Amino acid sequence: MLSSAIRNLSRRSFSTSKSLAAPQQLTVRDALNAAMDEEMEKDEKVFILGEEVAQYDGAYKVSRGLWKKYGDKRVIDTPITEMGFAGIAVGAAMAGLRPICEFMTFNFAMQAIDQVINSAAKTFYMSAGVVNVPIVFRGPNGAAAGVGAQHSQCFGAWYAHCPGLKVISPYDSEDAKGLLKAAIRDPDPVVFLENEMLYGVGYPVSDQVLDKNFVLPIGKAKIQRPGKHITIVAHSKAVEIALTAANELAGKGIECEIINLRSLRPLDSDTIFQSVQKTHHLVTIEQGWPSCGIGSEICARLMEHETFFHLDAPVWRVTGADVPMPYAKTLEAAALPQPHDVVNAVNKVLGVK
């Protein structure tokens, strides 16, 4: 009797029905790695240079395995001299190659900002369209955790200010892969602002995203979550903050439309305008400082467009605090926008008490 029960239990343990496959997960780190790998395989003019990108597999392991696959000539370790290797990369782009110049953090790109702006961004214009500079400057941007004032700045508004550059600020794995591939193929300089805190986060992706031909258009935002009561515009990690706040607000019957900007320059004003004309309310979120920020630019464009007349309340900005980033953990959290800040902003704009 016992042996019969065991046999029946064993049979029940094995299901012959087809189970529904779980969505495929891809980390932002692996998405970026795949984008570079696929473009290097496709075009031998593409190469990577930067600090620790080769033998160490990258400071954040984004270039993992590429040195072993492509060798010293296409994955190049550089000395700690951002001005130097950024200049080499710009010169290589002018000569017809397609460099991917990695900054260990965009805070260090301040050492090379002359090369990024004066050498890369302006050359196509100053050469009357004769000299293209197909280069990607990429690396982590904005606040990480516990790295202090000198390593926690968001450079989105800095670079978006400059004509001649395209500026991309991806959120999830789909953004990272599709937009980095587009950046590498672009004939002009692209500043690609990643977020260190998102590298290890896995996001569900479709088979289309995993395909080698998957590319996203630069300059086109994404409706990350549809809604009807208020529009929330964000980029990079601020999209995560917006989604968290939206989930909380949904419990109170407030449906937020979340726009993931993806590109900061060119900025997809049309998607923002269309959403605001539907919801009649707008909140912007960014981790950078408030003065002359991306939110400020969106406010100005809205004022200068007929969409202004569709607003039922003033636009509200949620930003980082207007101070250098504190080192203390509690103060660091207070200096960055949190979901409760977004909830409070939405309540104020909608007049909810």
Point out the catalytic residue in the list 52, 151, 161, 310.
Answer: 151
Point out the catalytic residue in the list 82, 174, 194, 196.
Answer: 82
Preceding peptide of 339 cis, ω within 30°:
no
Catalytic, 235? Answer: no
Per residue, what are the HEC states of the chain? CHHHHHHHHHHHHCCCCCCCCCCEEEEHHHHHHHHHHHHHHHCCCEEEEECCCCCCCCCCCCCCCHHHHHCCCCEEECCCCHHHHHHHHHHHHHCCCEEEEECCCCCHHHHHHHHHHHHHHCHHHHCCCCCCCCCEEEEECCCCCCCCHHHCCCCHHHHHCCCCCEEECCCCHHHHHHHHHHHHHCCCCEEEEECHHHCCCEEEECHHHHCCCCCCCCCCCEEEECCCCEEEEECCHHHHHHHHHHHHHHCCCCCEEEEECCEEECCCHHHHHHHHHHHCCEEEECCCCCCCCHHHHHHHHHHCCHHHHHCCCCCEEECCCCCCCCCCHHHHHHHCCCHHHHHHHHHHHHCCC
Catalytic, 151? Answer: yes
- Whether 4 and 188 have beta carbons less than 8 Å apart is answered as no
What positions carry a catalytic annotation?
Answer: 82, 151
